[in-house]
Amino acid sequence: MTDPDPVLQALEDVVVAARANVVTWMGVMERADAVRELRRQGVAYRDMQVDAGVPMIDAISGAQERLNAAAARFRRATARELHAEGMTAAEIARIFGVSRQRVSNLLDEDSEPQQPLTQD
């Protein structure tokens, strides 16, 4: 049995985060529609009660953080795999569109603990 592929595992984290974010963004858009409709009716923001569950600003922030964390794991795993396959930090930097120093930092970073990719 072979070891799990860290790049594919990290890519799956991106997919899980993206799927969760689709649900989150659909909810945000529904709430935005409700806010616009209430404003058209002249309702003051302080009198609106459209946040069922997680407040909209928290849902937006959570979605961004979830995707950023998954993307960081994917970027780190990809850089490490490319380096293990013989690419230099400078070559990886050109592919990623970042500095060689940034790639060196990615290669040196400790793996962060897996955080659950939950839906908002």
pTM for the structure as a whole: 0.76
Domain of residue 62, residue span: 6-108
Residues 6+ apart with CB under 8 A from 100: 89, 90, 93
- Evaluate whether residue 25 is within a structural domain: yes
- Evaluate whether residue 59 is within a structural domain: yes
Per-residue pLDDT of the chain (120 residues; tens, 9 = 90+): 567 899 999 999 999 999 999 999 998 999 899 899 999 999 998 888 766 677 888 999 999 999 999 999 999 999 999 999 999 999 999 999 999 999 999 999 875 544 444 444
Residue type, 82: L
Burial state string for 58-79 with b = 16 or more CB within 10 A and e = fewer than 16: ebeebbeebbebbeebbbbbbb
- Evaluate whether residue 102 is within a structural domain: yes
- Evaluate whether residue 114 is within a structural domain: no
- Evaluate whether residue 113 is within a structural domain: no
Q: For the chain, what is the domain count?
A: 1
- Evaluate whether residue 27 is within a structural domain: yes
- Evaluate whether residue 26 is within a structural domain: yes
